[in-house]
Structure 1
Amino acid sequence: MNNNNTQQKWNTKYALKIAKKENIIMTENHWEIIYLIRKIYFKYNINPTNRILLKIIKKEIGNNKSNNLYLLSLFPHGIIKQANKIAGLPTSTICL
């Protein structure tokens, strides 16, 4: 399945299936990041780098969640890689 089909068919059931394959039990904190990444992607048509994501989290969610340790506790095998996969988005990033 290519990325366009994945994006079109994405829903929470799909995300839970992918998360299970990644050994992640989705919590409210996970969903908060997943929905934020999807918002960024569809608003700006980019996948944010880790640095950009942290800045946006700080602005939109709060300073206490805008650090790598917090994000790695949610997505231990790569913040951008795992979160994008669960969010149904391409895993490549853009450098700005």
Structure 2
Amino acid sequence: MEIDQLKKQLDSDGHLIDASIWTEAIAQQLAELDALNLTPEHFEILKLVQDLYAETHDTPPMRLLVKQIKIRLGEEKGNSRHLYRLFPEGPVRYASKYAGLPKPAHCM
């Protein structure tokens, strides 16, 4: 999707209005708008955030996300340092954004 088309698909916070159009390519474009290049490590977290959203119909707060990462992906990835290394501006907000999910209610 061209960047101008993509921008029309975003809400005022830069999140997709319609999550059903999400693809990895769109995630990469969203990240590039924020000067971030997504790696397989990022996509691992995005998939987990999508799974948690599908299970709970809500974006997870940081503590729950860290806990679930530790359970599902292992001890070495289940900590806030790892998440901030991947998403320096805010792991929950930006992982949700790139995963095609709404802005978390608990994020400013």
Regarding TM over 0.5, the answer is yes
Structure 2, unpaired ranges of 5+: 1-8
RMSD: 1.6
> Which position in structure 1 is the counterpart of 2:3?
none
Structure 1, unpaired ranges of 5+: none
The residue type paired with residue 19 of structure 1 is A
The residue type paired with residue 90 of structure 2 is G
Please say if 1:62 is aligned against 2:74. Answer: yes
Work out which structure has the larger RCO, using CA pairs closer than 8 Å and 6 or more positions apart in sequence. Answer: 1
Identity of paired residues, percent?
31
> Which position in structure 1 is the counterpart of 2:45?
33
The residue type paired with residue 33 of structure 1 is I
Whether contact under 8 Å (2:69, 2:77) holds in the other structure is yes
Deviation at 1:4, TM superposition (A): 7.2
Query: Which entry has the higher C-alpha Rg, 1 or 2?
Result: 2
Deviation at 1:20, TM superposition (A): 0.6
- Compare the two structures and name the one with the higher helix fraction: 1
> Which position in structure 1 is the counterpart of 2:58?
46
> Which position in structure 2 is the counterpart of 1:11?
23
Alignment TM-score, normalising by the size of structure 2? 0.80
- SS state of the match for residue 28, structure 2? helix
The residue type paired with residue 84 of structure 1 is S
> Which position in structure 1 is the counterpart of 2:94?
82
CA distance in 1, matches of 2:16, 2:83: 26
Number of positions where the alignment pairs a residue of Structure 1 with one of Structure 2: 94
